[in-house]
Amino acid sequence: MIRFHMADMDRLTLFSTELTVFRPDGVTELNDALKRTLLAERALGPSGFKASVSGGWHSRPDLAMRREEPFQALMALFVDHVGYCLQGMAAERGLEVPQHRWSVQSWAVVLDRGGYNLLHDHAAAHWSVAWYVDAGDPPPADAADAGALSFVDPRRAAPVIPGLELAPSTFTVHPQSGMLVVFPGALQHYVHPYQGERPRICVSANLRMELTPGR
């Protein structure tokens, strides 16, 4: 009879997905300036961009190119925090990050009551971020995920084990004003219908690493 010994077992966690949530200090003034600018821009009318948004306003995807100080400060915040994540992941694996520069594309979405984002991804980007300028009103008691950001398990669907949910199919982040969410661009995600009265304002960005010339 072959006996099973626990000490003879290798247990591995495969294909993990890195998602990081930051809550930087001292961003109230930055968010106030962004909010004034973005709401004033929305008041001028539709931008012509919709993407995955339903029931909201989508800015032109040119925020990374704007010279106004709030946008420049926010892009620097994105690059710094994504770079921190990258350095940490590389160090854990004993790797060195090559010399590179960042290519950034950024846009804003303002959701009104009932607005949401359809399931989508940013597969062309190495990293994506979501920055909450104003997370809006808290969700009602009967809709706890209203306005929340949900990520979908990137692995192929597996049969559900009856009565035992070992691997939930989604992971949900409940936004707060001044919160930054960093995740792989290929990770599918969506936003639940927002139920507040105050506009929910989020600035998103895609970041790609490009090796510097000669490397």
CATH of the domain at 199: 2.60.120.620
8 domain-assigned? no
Which residue type does 206 have?
Answer: N
CB atoms within 10 A of CB 17: 13
Read off the pLDDT of each residue in 24-37 and give the average, rounded to a whole number: 98
**Range name among 3-7, 94-98, 168-172, 190-194 with the lowest pLDDT average:** 3-7
How many domains is the chain built from? 1
Angle value at C-alpha 197, between 187 and 61, nearest 5 degrees: 40
pLDDT of residue 156: 75
Could you tell me the two tokens for 163? Answer: 């009565």
CB atoms within 10 A of CB 151: 20
Tell me the pLDDT band of 107, cut-offs 50, 70 and 90.
very high
pLDDT of residue 65: 97
pLDDT of residue 12: 87
Q: Looking at the predicted structure, is the pLDDT value of residue 215 above 60?
A: no
| Domain, as residue range, for 90 | 20-155+167-211
Tell me the pLDDT band of 3, cut-offs 50, 70 and 90.
low
- Percent of the chain at pLDDT > 70 equals 96
Q: 165 versus 139: which is more confidently predicted?
A: 139
pLDDT of residue 48: 84
81 domain-assigned? yes
Residue that the structure tokens 């959701």 belong to? 111
- CA dihedral sign of residues 197, 113, 187, 204: negative
161 domain-assigned? no
13 domain-assigned? no
pLDDT of residue 128: 98
Angle value at C-alpha 204, between 198 and 210, nearest 5 degrees: 170
4 domain-assigned? no
162 domain-assigned? no
Residue that the structure tokens 């290929």 belong to? 186
pLDDT of residue 36: 98
6 domain-assigned? no
Q: 63 versus 161: which is more confidently predicted?
A: 63
Q: 122 versus 214: which is more confidently predicted?
A: 122
40 domain-assigned? yes
Q: 51 versus 91: which is more confidently predicted?
A: 91
- The CA distance from 192 to 167, in Å, is 21
Mean pLDDT (the chain) is 93
pLDDT of residue 15: 86
Read off the pLDDT of each residue in 168-183 and give the average, rounded to a whole number: 96
Cβ-proximal residues to 44 (8 Å cutoff; 6+ apart), any chain: none
The answer to whether 81 and 162 are in contact (CB under 8 A) is: no
